[in-house]
Structure 1
């Protein structure tokens, strides 16, 4: 752990303790012991100094006269010379000595003149955070081929062959930025890199706003938001010129601007988005300027310049390199790993550096045997997820990760306010930093979650509630109002806006939204099944910058709301934009939700021929083939989806549905273990309920249905509807009536066919046969198998529970027979009931 050793006179103890509290106790070593003898004094001070990476001298009159402080200075000088202490800060509490009067080695230190805890603590935290960032990327092994390729690209032997842009491709967390940072420092003399994140929907104005925040920074949140508003009003040409100027300015300051693909740098074909194309084309005209892009997809950059920018691929570490990395990390953390332990860890890490860091950190805490334990499952989860799932995080650690996964970055003051009082919170934060799960934002007291951890947290822990988002927004708003130190406030203002939106609150003056924020919120609300709010944010993005992304979320939200006509209009707009394959895919999505599965298959297959691929296409095709009874093609398509991403929750869930249809109970139940590991509890419990229903255990089905609904703030309509069905199947008719009413209030006209079907089932159970027949008469027009089953059941109940004349009875029995023929003509699952998405 990176720690600071405070050297001070005990007459200044009150101030020093206040500074220590603001820095965070786990990051501070204080000499508070009363030593009784010279040997004990010597040994104690040596130990404290030797454990520290930052030495802080509180220089007051009393301190400078103290023999103890003098001795500590000498010890610190020795450890600075041996490079054990890496930063020195002198805090001048008074003007008793000029800087020129300090020893020469101390004059090279950072001086802070203040007697107020907050600015002193900020300077110390900045030093600690810089060292933390260096520590998280300090150990670097292998990459000889990638390093050579990147050096050849940025510094070619033939000067005439130099290019101003280089592309680096690889999986997130694999070490792309670390590689670039080292080559940029060693070969191009850049002091550091600035990561300019390119998100979905970013315009050139948005990019200019972010770039100004990175390069210039602002003195306060108010200044940042005001500047952003100005950038929003300028023309695209002016924004392009300003962005280019800022990148040139950064280079002059020894900083390399990197365009990082956060979903908006490349389209689905690998070509740069319009705004990025503009920027790269402008940069390509300046051969003396160096810029880089980082992406996980192979970019197609042939249209940028005459000589396409070189692409350097960063692959997972080899087995040898992985073992070497684990050995170095273990030695650094004083972990004694046997050869067999190291080999087992290397096999599970699978060449993924973040997993190696996590594995060794956990071996240090819990022992090599636990960290290296194999996972008993038919599927081995991703390496980093595996280690985090095996070693349950402490409560404070989990709380911090939950808040940071949903809101990054956040100031330490906000984290303290929203996670609740805990004496162990700083310790938890220090442990997360040590494990490289959380990183400090340079030059601030803000913290952000490491990217590879976000998926794990969203999968393993409950999403933040509306009340928790409200708490974040309230604390962050106060923090932004008090801001007065330079920093990248654009990011913080955007986090503030998103927290307000998730809390259902109105926006505030210091809350800033870019187009990418509206798109991000549209996606989040869509996955939360809050389709009306998803559509509202997609519409905001569409008005500001019509794009593939904005129209896609409009189509999906409208389809889920049953608004098929506006969805079709948006699909037509996509065709006008030249996005034919996406338009065809969404046309299939529309037809699938209309229940027209054969037509959906035609559209999906047309999208495939137009070049559309990916997991979603395979998954949706499998779903459609399943509904039309073509189990062979359904299995083929689901196998293709599984090959792309074996742990995708939708894929696993669909495989379970197919197993239920084929009456393969062993496979269905075996896959449930995996689903509970990779899906949110509400959805996993819902699927378990469907399995129990399929194989005849109605009470178990009810219990899991209840868990699915009770375990979600806003249960998805599928889970709600399934609960009503299970209540009906287990003769909890009054409970079913209440649930069906709740569905109607919460989801109004959404999935009207399902809601009408439930109302028909309820009418049958309550003996309201005429009502049931009336509802099923309307439903039967859709021609779906579930509507046939409902009609059959309503007719059967009417013959048993009410007086029917002979002629009418004969007609109803004939209709029942005809429906039975239709139902028996194809294989289908009568328990599925079209309740699943």
Structure 2
């Protein structure tokens, strides 16, 4: 853990303790006189300085007169020269002290003059955060060709060929930021990157506000809100000039501003957002600005060509080769003092498949379990490009660490004080937990001095530790609102104000004046509500976003999917028509397939998916969904073909593995299904693995075991999914647990009152049949939206058979017999069960 040693006079102790409290005592070594006593005191001081990465001198006349401080300065100078102390800061508390009063080496370090604890704390936190970031990427190997390509972009040997912007392309976690950082430090004389996310719904005004929050920190949250409102009210040209001037200021601070694509920089066709194109085009007026774009796809050149602009130079990063990963494993193992033999290094290299972050987590598992268990078992099996789920599942995180990750995955960034209050931890426990999570790179310092979850880990945390709960959102909202009400002298309050808005909305609480939302926050909330199965709230939030800007593609696609989940097919169709009008043909066809698949019209869905494919739609999702349609239609060879193509693109996708299990079940291959369940357990949440296990046992006829796993799936669910609860009802009915089935069905109807009506109606009818209430069961069958489906005809048949065993009037009996014959003729001996195997894919 990065720590700073505080050197000070006892006369200044109250001020120093206030500074330490502001930055978090986990990061400061103070009160050294309590470390030990007597003759061992100097040894303890020296050892503590050696263990510190930063040294902070609180400079006053009393400090200059202190023999303790003079000793600490001598030791710090030695450790600084040896490279153990990375950064030195002088907090000058008395401006009358002249440079001549200090040793020469201290005059060459960073200084700040203040008698206020907050500015001093902010400066020290910046210093510590820089060291944390460096510590999280302590080794760099390879990338010589990519660095050379970037050097050519920014300083081409041919005059006039150089550029002010490059596009660095590659998958998340591939090393885009690390490579760019190394190049700018070595070639452009810049110290670091300042990354700004470009999100769906962003505009030039939003970008200008984000940049201003980083460059022009406010003294108070009220000032921050006022400035943000003024910027977002600017016209496009004025906002563009504002954004460019802030990019210029960032470069003057010896940083490179980087625009990171979080869904708002490029659309699905690779077209760059018009206002970003305006910014790139205007860079010529600001020759001292150098910047970069980070994306996971290559920008289409057509937009540039249409404006007679030279397309942005692209540097593409592929996974590291085995030789580079081999060296990285060796270097990182040596730094951690982990002894690995060459065969183990080779096995880790094979497991991580070229992704540098995977090395960190692989070595964590080796450290925790030993190389034999970690390598020989299944922990590093196919670790690959998505290491986070396996790492979180296999490593042992305390309940507090899990809670911290769960809260911060949904509420980032947060100040340390707010996080501590929200999770209800003591000083000691929050420090220990946060130190561990920072050390393993799951928590990182944000640009404003706050903390956030490492982006690629967010979804894995949500899957493994569950979604942030409503009461946790409420705790964050309450504490953060109080923090902003009393905060002064801070940085990037806009990020906290946005976090507050989202937390308040998710908690269902009334907003406060300190909460603020950019349009992208409403788009993000619509997505959150969709994934939490709160489809009506997703509809409302997406509509809010579209009223402000009808062109936000992600908001409209979320709205369409939410309407489909609610069974509001005409409304979804109207918005799909809007996509067609806007020329987004392939997405329109894909969503038509999504609609028909949920309506149960799998052949129509397959046709639309094929049109989307023919129009250029690619990726894992379309092949996965086509595989599901083929499975439902009984075309198992085509199902296998499409699921194999989906697996090639994302072998770790849990929906892909889940669908492979369903295909194995349809082929009556239980051994393969069980083997795939083990694979699913590596990458999916325990309740969904239990649910799929229940479905496998159900389909192979072991109903008691199916019920046990169905019950476990419900018990383990924080926010139980429709298919999980419906399967529990079915298993309870099949095992004659009528009372349990009835209670669960009541819950299903309450929680999902607007979803999958036919399944709920069918289960209700089955419950009535189990209770020998055949008349009510028969009445339920009259309410099916799709009465001709085999499963619905079977239920109606069973209800009719039950009725015919009761006392009936002659004409009534004759009518029901005739109806039973019609049902049996339409069934023609065919059987079909409820379609509970679809996971309702949400990505």
In 2, Cα distance between equivalents of 1:424 and 1:44: 24
Structure 1 residues 285 and 589 mapped into 2: Cα distance closer, same or farther (>3 Å)? farther
Which residue number corresponds to residue 207 of structure 2? Answer: 207
State the secondary structure of the residue aligned to 1:317.
coil
CA RMSD across the alignment:
2.8
CA distance in structure 1 between the aligned counterparts of 2:45 and 2:54, rounded to whole angstroms: 14
Q: Tell me, in whole angstroms, the C-alpha distance in 2 between the residues paired with 1:285 and 1:62.
A: 52
Work out whether 1:549 is the aligned partner of 2:587: no
Paired position in structure 1 for 2:735: 730
- Write the deviation string for residues 535-589 of structure 1: whole angstroms up to 9, x where unpaired: 1111011111123212211111111111111111111111111111111111122
* In the alignment, structure 1 residue 254 sits paired with structure 2 residue 259: no
Deviates more, 1:163-172 or 1:622-631: 622-631
Contact 2:586 2:613 in 1 (8 A): yes
Q: How has the CA–CA distance of structure 1 residues 672 and 219 changed in structure 2, closer, same or farther, with 3 Å as cutoff?
A: same
| Greater alpha carbon shift after TM alignment, 167-176 vs 794-803 | 794-803
Structure 1 CA distance, aligned partners of 2:201 and 2:355? 30
The answer to whether structure 1 residue 32 and structure 2 residue 34 are counterparts is yes
Q: Deviations over 1:775-797 (max 9, x none)?
A: 32443854222212212222232
**Matches of 1:56 and 1:620, distance apart in 2:** 58
Could you say if the C-alpha distance between residues 368 and 7 of structure 1 is closer, same or farther in structure 2, counting changes exceeding 3 Å? farther
Q: Residues 436-451 of structure 1: matches in 2 within 5 Å? A: 436-442=441-447, 444=449, 446-451=450-455
**Counterpart Cα distance in 2 of 1:239 and 1:420:** 42
What residue number does 2:298 align with?
A: 298
Change (3 A) 1:484 1:21: closer
Please give the alpha-carbon distance, in whole angstroms, between the structure 2 residues aligned to 1:370 and 1:613: 39
Report the Cα distance in structure 1 between the residues aligned to 2:285 and 2:21, rounded to whole angstroms: 52
CA distance 1:482–1:110, change in 2 (3 Å) = farther
Q: Secondary structure at the match of 2:198?
A: strand
Cα deviation, 1:111-168, whole Å, max 9, x if unaligned, reads 5666776655444333222222233334322111111111111111111222332111
SS in 2 for 1:89: strand
The corresponding residue for 1:823 is 830
Superposed displacement of residue 361, structure 1: 4.9
Residue 789 of structure 1 contacts residue 819 of structure 1 at CA under 8 Å; is this kept in 2? no
Q: Is the 8 A contact 1:60 1:96 kept in 2?
A: no
Distance in 2 (CA, whole Å) between partners of 1:321 and 1:707 is 44
CA distance in 2, matches of 1:660, 1:604: 24
Shift of 1:58: 4.1
Distance 2:294 2:488 in 1: 33
Select 2:821's aligned residue among 802, 814, 820: 814
SS of 1:85's equivalent in the other structure is coil
In the alignment, the residues of structure 2 paired with residue 384 and residue 722 of structure 1 have an alpha-carbon distance, to the nearest angstrom, of: 29
Residue 344 of structure 1 corresponds to which residue in structure 2?
Answer: 347
d(CA) in 1 for partners of 2:132 and 2:735?
58
Q: Deviations over 1:324-353 (max 9, x none)?
A: 222322333333333333333333232222
Cα shift at 1:658: 2.1
> Is the partner of 2:660 in helix, strand or coil?
helix
Structure 1: runs of 5 or more not aligned: none
Task: Tell me if the contact between 1:780 and 1:788 (Cα under 8 Å) persists in the aligned partners.
Answer: no
Q: Which residue of 2 aligns with 1:102?
A: 102
> Structure 1 residues 160 and 350 mapped into 2: Cα distance closer, same or farther (>3 Å)?
same
The question of 1:595 aligning with 2:600 is answered yes
How has the CA–CA distance of structure 1 residues 53 and 478 changed in structure 2, closer, same or farther, with 3 Å as cutoff?
same
8 Å contact kept, 1:165–1:309: yes
Residues 721 and 835 in structure 1, CA contact (< 8 A), matched pair in contact too: no
TM-score by length of 1: 0.92
Alignment of 1:226 onto 2:226 = yes
**Pairs within 5 Å for 1:408-427:** 408-422=412-426, 423-427=428-432
- Helix, strand or coil for the counterpart of 2:303? coil
The within-5 A match list for 1:142-181 is 142-181=142-181
Q: Distance in 2 between the 1:534 and 1:504 partners? A: 14
3-state SS of the aligned residue for 1:241?
helix
Distance apart, 1:377 and its partner CA: 8.9
Question: Structure 1, residues 418-437: CA drift from partner, whole Å, max 9, x if none?
Answer: 12223232122122222222
Q: Which residue of 2 aligns with 1:710?
A: 715
What SS is found at the alignment partner of 2:830? helix
1:667-682 matches, within 5 Å, as 667-682=672-687
Which shifted more, 412-421 or 696-705?
696-705
5 Å matches for 1:275-294? Answer: 275-283=275-283, 289-294=289-294
Gap regions ≥5 residues in structure 2 = none
Q: TM-score, normalised by structure 2?
A: 0.92
Q: 2: distance between equivalents of 1:761 and 1:835?
A: 20
Structure 1, 537-546 or 724-733: larger mean CA deviation: 724-733
**Distance (Å, rounded) in 1 between the aligned partners of 2:36 and 2:666:** 75
State the shift of 1:366 in Å: 5.7
Return the offset for 1:442.
4.1
Q: 1:796 aligns with which of 794, 801, 808?
A: 801
Q: Report the alpha carbon displacement of residue 208 of structure 1 after superposing the two structures with TM.
A: 2.1
* Offset from partner CA, 1:5-25 (integer Å, 9 cap, x none): 233455666665565555444
What secondary structure does 1:166 align onto? strand
Name the SS for the 2:435 alignment partner: helix
Show CA shifts across 1:16-68 (max 9, x none): 5565555444433334345544xx45543332222222223345665544433
Cα deviation, residue 528, structure 1: 1.1
Q: Report 1:186-205 matches (<5 A).
A: 186-205=186-205
Tell me the residue number matched to 1:666: 671
Take 2:95 and 2:839, find their aligned partners in 1: how far apart are those partners? 73
- Find the residue that maps to 2:441 and give its secondary structure: coil
**Which shows bigger deviation, 128-137 or 569-578?**
128-137
Structure 1 range deviating more: 464-473 or 389-398: 389-398
Distance 1:60 1:158, change over 3 A: closer
Deviation string, structure 1 residues 258-306 (Cα, Å, up to 9, x no partner)? 1111112111222213333333333367666433111111222343254
1:125-140 superposed matches below 5 A: 125-140=125-140
What SS does the aligned partner of 2:261 have?
strand
| Offset at residue 380 of structure 1 (A) | 4.5
